[in-house]
Structure 1
Amino acid sequence: MFIEQATIFGFGKWVDYTIDFSSDNAIYIFGENESGKSTLHTFILFMLFGLPPKKREFYRPKTSGKLGGRLTVQDKGIRFTIERFHEVDNGAAKCYTSDGIQQDEQWLKNRLQGMTYASYQSVFSFSANDLSQVSEMNENELGEVILGIGLTGSKNLYAIERRLDDKMGDLFKPYGKKPKINQQLSKLQDMQIRLDQYKQLEASYYQKKTEANNMKTAITATKEKLEKLTNDRLFLGKMQHAQPSIQMYKTISKQLEDFPEHIPFPEDGITRLEKWKEKMLPLKSELAILQDNEKKYDQKIKNLQMHQLEKSILDQAEKMIEAEKRYDHLISEQNKHKADKDKQQIQVDKELEELDLHISREELVSMALSFQTEKTWKQIKVDSEQISLEKEQLQTEQNQIDRQRHHLQQQKSVLQEKLHSDNKIHEWQEKLQAVDEFAAKNYLKTFKEQQQNDWAKQRVRKRKAANYILIGLVFIGMIVGMFGILGTHTVSIFSSLLLVLLGMGQWFFQRHSIHEMDHAFMHEDDMPIRTNEINESEREMIMADLEKQHQYRNQIDAIEEQLKGLEIQYLKWEEKTYQTAEREKRIARQVQDQQLEYPFLSNMETSFWPELYYRLKSVIRMDKQVQDIAANFNKIICELEQIQEQVNTFFEQANREMKNKSIKQKFEWIHQLLDNHHETTKQMTYLTTYKKDAVEKQQQLQQQLQPHQMEIEKLYKLAGVNSEEAFYEKSRELKEKQDLLQKKDSLYQQLSAIDAEQDWQHMLQNVRDEHTLQLQLDQVQEKMKQCTTDLDKKRQDLADINAEITSIEGSDNISQLMHELEFEKEKLKQQAEQWAVVKSAKEILLQTKRTYRNKYLNKVMELTTDYFQELTGGIYVHVFPPVDDSTFIVENENGTRFHLSELSKGTVDQLYVSLRLAVSKSMSEKHALPFIIDDAFVHFDSIRTKRMVHLLNRIANDQQVIIFTCKKEVADTADNKSFIKLQNSIRIH
């Protein structure tokens, strides 16, 4: 992708500014600090990738309302213009190709092949800030960061890996104390120790429970012993008081001998007799009242039966009551519908009055607004607004083309004034040609003289060599011939002759070749040699003038090409203007059609049509509701008339006098009629029920009196008497005998309590003396005192043991600690899972780095080595990537290797720049995007800057490079390359 031109309508400090990038593949943009370089850099990225709304708002110009612009690019043979505006489609891109087709944001993303703002910043752009961050890192960190950039094109890879390491370190370290998992393990260990201590305490609990049980058994035995002693003491005490009771017992026994042995009388006879008599009295009184009430109920029922309604009239009255409910409901609905109708009618009239369209009710009813109408009005509004925007854009384009044409024509005029005539240029060229011919002939003459001197020396050597060879071959031939003559060998003689002939032949050949060379060097050039007509300074001035004239002509040709491009743009502008005018006419026809169909649209702007559609739609809907309410209102009136007819028919039979009364009075009369009937029926029901209850109660009272009488007779029979008086006499006699028996029994009980297991009758005859009883009593009390002291001690011991047991049982430390332990174990599990996730993420990252290393590292490192060697002037000839825990290693021309820590800051910066350029070069095979550098070598010296510029120019042969710099040296070093000076928006070449 090649950026040709950027047009800024408004972005930061730049307003209505055009910058041309088409002069060369390597563009140097020079400007002092605060001159707008970074803003221009951000504008290019904004046009390619867009920006979020808040960041766009940051770059809103102070002196212009527009924010946006255009960027013209060439990509794979397709020339198109990217256009973005902050206020249009939320900053979305519109792309216009050379054939006039408009494309959207997605089309641009497809051209960029998925490249994003962040990815571009990481791969194809870097600045001096990146170098400053690299210089602050240590050796290992720097190696990892550079390797991360070399592998993925992202300087954040190392930061991500460090965050993962920090996260793992925060969770767990094998010998750490502060990480969360280490702290959790220590916490679990402490809790386990406390739990073991609680378990030991729990084991002592069972021992104390055994001791407590044994102590309870001993206390129980002591209590039993104390209880026995207490009984003995009581027995002895009673024995002391037994003598008076025995005497009284003997007296009572003698009195009982005067009464019969058996007196028949029912138990509680008097009480039972009084009871039965008391119960029978109210029953008899109630029975008399019920009999009287029964007669009254019969008379009232006969009187009520005479006032009941007939069955037919009763059924019709009940139907009228049901009709009344419906009638009341319809009246309520009628009032509601009337209120709704009036309210809706007022709302419709109000809406029509607010719209002020002079639409009658009849027109409103017949008006049909379809979905297509809504769509048409919306489209007309959108098209009208778009036409207005396009006309404004076309005007802006026309002004821009006119400004550019005027500027280019001025430049062309200035350059044409600087051109000389063709005769003058031809004269300069002839002078230079003559000088060049003179220099060439002098050079040939000098070269020939040198060759002649060399040939003279070589000729002597060749003659000597030929003579030596001739003499040697003749000598050898003579020796071989002598051996042949002496030995009569014919072959030897022939060989000797052949050697002599060979020696003479090579001697003649060398003589001939020397003669030919002498003849060649003796040939003289017949052309006369002229003297130099101009000196060297004049020659350099002529060459400089010719170079300037050549540059002027090239610039004029370039301007003419640009003027041709502007003419093409103007033709395209005219085509767009024509298309816009046609669209405007088409929209006007659509507007006219709609106004013919809906005359009220004639005096209204098209921008308000969609809103008017919804208002009219609402008014039509409300008017339809008014009509529906009116229809329902009429139905209710019809149904009310039917109900009134039914009521009149009823009163023809029931009460003609009520015929002329109101419907409300008629319903009230019916209610009163039914209420009277229901009240009479209710009273008859009550009276019938009361009568039935009275009869049933009479039967019940008679049944209740019968068992009472039988019980009284049964009492008389048991007492063996026939009258109530005899019954009371026998009761008195029985009572006296029972009192004596009760006293005797009481004495018997008192005496039996002394010793239940002995025969107290016999004991009375053998009474112990008082002194013996007192002695036995003292002994028992002494034993009781000793036993009580022992019991108190054992109870105190048991209380102490129970207190310890209660303390253990009441404590929930074990359960709580076990619960906390399980909770902390679960927390440890979650932390371990979190550590495992982070560990897995780091392993995946490392695996990705290894995979990327195996795939791209060799190519990236080859390019890095090439660039680094060029930037360092051949001092360093190889760059080795990190292996295991090592860092980058560089090798110099002598084979000595150095780590990063052993290099100077400038050399490290050169290595970083080389690696970034290598990454961009590798990625440009897929994403052929321009490479943007923002003051990345601001700290380079002049020599390193020249090497950097030379390298960038070489890279620019395959990839566009845009360099933002504040160093004048860079612009000066970039000789014969176009650069742009950001100062008062003036373009410099």
Structure 2
Amino acid sequence: MKFTKAYIYGFGKWINFEISFSDGICIYGENESGKSTIYHFILFMLFGLPPKQREFYRPKSGGQIGGRLTIADEDVGVFTIERVDSLRNGAASCYTPDGMEYDEDWLKKRLKGTTLETYQSIFSFSAMDLNKITNMKESDLGEVLLGIGLTGSTEIHHLEKKLDNKLAELFKPYGKKPMINRQLDTLDKQFASLQGYKKNETTYREKKMNESQLEDRLCELKNELQEEKIKLLNIEKNIQALPLIGEYIRYQSNLEKYGQNLDFPEHGETRIENIKSNLLPLQSELAVLKGNAKKYQEKLERLQNKLANQKLYEAAQTLVKLKHEFLDNKKELERTENIIESKKMEMEMELNRLNVGLHFEHLYKMNFPFHIEQTWLQIKRDEGNVALEKERIQAEVQQLKQERNYLYNQLEELEEQILPDEKVFELNEKINRFHKHHAVRNLQNEAAQKQQKWRKRREKKEKDMNVFFISCLAIAVIFSMVGLFTDIRILLDISFLLLLFGVGQWMWGRKSLKEMEMVIQSDFESDTFHTLSKDDLQDAEIQISDHHKRVSEMENIKEQLKSNDMKRLNFRDKMKVVEDRYANIQQQIKEQYQFYPFLKHIDISYWPELFHALKQLVSQFKEYMKVLEDKEILLEKVIRFQSEVNEFVKEQNWETGDLIEQQLKAIESFIRKQQEISQQIEQYTDLLKENSKEQDELLLRIGTYESEIRNLLELAEVESEESFYRKANQVNEKKQNEEALDNTYAQLERLFPNSQWKSFVEKAQSESELEWMRNDTANTIEDLQQKIAKTQKELVTVQAQLETMESSEEYSNNLHQFEMEQEQLNKLAREWAIIKTAKELLSETKRTYKEKHLYQVMEATSYYFSRLTGYKYKSVYAPMDHRSFQVEANNGLRYEVNELSKGTIDQLYVSLRLAIGKTMSESNHLPFILDDAFLHFDSLRIKQVINLLEEISKTYQVILFTCRKEITLDMDQMETISLKATAFK
């Protein structure tokens, strides 16, 4: 939807005023020029205004309030909205191109329900919005930025606040004034009064306890009944799902036949059919072109045979061209004498009028080149332009000097603020020591844990070594004793080897433990560092960050100084060029004095006028001389022409007679026939060239389609079209099975959420088993219903006895009052529950809405913010966990919103608002309207935001109202309208 034009009958200071809108338009005007009035007129046309607000915009001179707004819509085309205060109470009338008229409801449908508040919070903002952001507390800044437009308007916030107030009016956990709290107090008092009447009744408590037990029993039975009913429902659902599960298993087995790798180009069958359908007409057209080319070639050869000799044709043309000269010469002989006398008299009179010292005899030698007029005129212009150029260059140089002094002052201020290199090195060392200390502490903790684990392992290993050594020693002793008693020598050798092996193993283990102990001990040793507090660390990081920011600003200023120096050098060169131009002009003037001495007594400014007078005299003199010459040769030309024509006709043997007029007619007829033949030859030659070009284009297009067919066959990994179609059928069958499987899966998920049906598939219960379970559960339900009926009967009996005991009138009145109060409490509780549910649904809706659009908004915000800051920042992160907005610079550092400058915060706000508008406009395509939104931006930020708006205007309509002239100067693509140049009608 785009605005094309608006016509204001009367609105504020504008009366009978018309304005046209383009895709990107900047409306410039100084303060009080009527920019905001036009802005509010557009809103009035779209959304209307209440009567009291309309009166505010009534013209001071009286008259009606209203106008027309023409809109181009993608669906209905161009339509016009008309609102007049005195008609239909300011309601809109919409006129479409087909002549139909629609009301306000139709307009609301075209706007897709967008209200004035929604439009202002998404598609429109001004400098006042930026001021609101800067006045917020730093801790709330991120939350305010995020809440500006994500919900579309403030209505949801008001509704949520209204629900909170209503909940507080009904109930507070520790309150006394809310209605439910007061009702609970009243109910407690009523209940205490009832208990007083029951105190003296002996059996009343027993019956009451019996009643309570029966009620509990009844409640348990009802719960069991409910559980059994749920169980029965699940069984019936299982029975109902059996066919679906069977289909699911069948579709899965079908898909396994096709395998995983079935490569085929997307929409391959349709694509190859489209290519073939496009290829056939091209081949047919190529055959037609070849047939036409053959016909054109045959006709061209026949015409070339009819064409006469070129020399003969040229000779005839020459004679025909001289025909008019021959006729003119005959007439000229009659008036030559009169012309000679009259021209001489006119020239003498003109020389007397000019009075520049020239006489008639001077005209014989006077001659002006064709360029002398431009030379004299250029000398006059250059002499005036050089003086103006000198003044302009001097003014520009003076402005550059002032800019250079200002930049040097800024550079000196920043140089005083930056830290010395020693201080920067010291701060970096502190930060590194802090991080190194934390790393060492972590290593020490890990080493301590390793040492503790090692102690346990060492004790276990020492115990194992001792056990192994003792075992070897015991076995060796046993073997040696057995060997001594039995006199078996080998047992003594074995015992000795066992003893030797046990001692060696024990000593090697001790050595390993000592080496491991030394390694663990070395890991545990730590260096000592001088630690910093977190406040000192934060202070050091802030100082380093400020230092880098100032260094970056200094580099920027140095670049600006270099640019300033280059501009001054350019202007110095321009001044030298101007001085050279001045010297060149003086040299040109001297040269003219040498050629035309009479110019010395005439001011340069009159040279062009003098040239025209002298040029006319010279021309008249030349005509005079020519007439004298023509008088001598006219008769000779006439005779010579007659003889040439007569000789040409005789050579061709044409029978035309002796009159020259008849001979000339025959020659002209011959020329016309030859021209017609030449034109036909040229036409057929062009047709052959065009035919050849079309054939080349068709062959190229045919080759492209054939290449596409080969590519499709390669993608499908087949060699022929028949194999291609066969594989396409397999892919379609697989896709149909996958869709059927997904459909069956979705149906099972609706019956059994959270994939509960998968466990049912694993159990593989048959239909007969499920039927038996259903019958068993139904019998259980019937038994429970009988028990409930019996219990209810006993409860009614007990309650009747209690009612008899409580039949006194005072007790009855209190009981009735108690029931009424309890009913009132239930009513308030239901109301509280309804409001609480509505609030939870509203919160859930906000959360869903936020999750749906937040990623898109933040992605667009990051892009716009990077553009506006000259790509100094690359990402913007939304607030979360009580943290405000964060931005990430190109060096990877992140900054909170309150760490940014005022101008950068404004850029962040503008980026967020543009991103919100872009995201919301995907569903509701409305123009952006910005009212002096960049009032406090400097020149660099102005250029960046203008470039961004011009890019956005290629997709969405952008209307910018501004009072700053420099904004309009930076516009390259957006149209600019100046209100100061517009007359009020």
User: TM class, shorter-chain normalised?
Assistant: 0.3 to 0.5
Structure 1 length as normaliser, TM-score?
A: 0.35
Structure 2 length as normaliser, TM-score?
A: 0.35
Larger radius of gyration: 1
